[in-house]
Amino acid sequence: MPVKIFEATDENLEAVNDFIHEQIKPFSCQSQTLFQIDLAVEEIFVNISHYAYSPDKGTVQIDCSVEKT
């Protein structure tokens, strides 16, 4: 399972999405599915970056596992 660690800042949201997209690329997801994934990742990552470490900064470990059903 691919794993990557990011500093928990809003500026890293794009890098997190790029990492996720890299992992799901072989599955050729429909645009609606990609939108839903992006929205979920944004909500989770932004909440962590805003509230998990306040007022300090921390890191987020993203583990990405994808399987076709």
Percent of the chain, pLDDT > 90? 78
Place of tokens 């944004």: 42
Q: What is the pLDDT of residues 15-35, one digit of tens each?
A: 999 999 999 999 999 999 999
Q: At what angle do helices 31-47 and 13-24 cross, to 10 degrees?
A: 140
- The reported pTM is 0.87
Residue 54 has pLDDT above 80, yes or no: no
Q: Is 28 exposed, middle or buried (0-12, 13-18, 19+ CB in 10 A)?
A: exposed
Model pLDDT, residue 68: 77
Spatial separation of the C-alpha atoms in residues 58 and 7, rounded to whole Å = 6
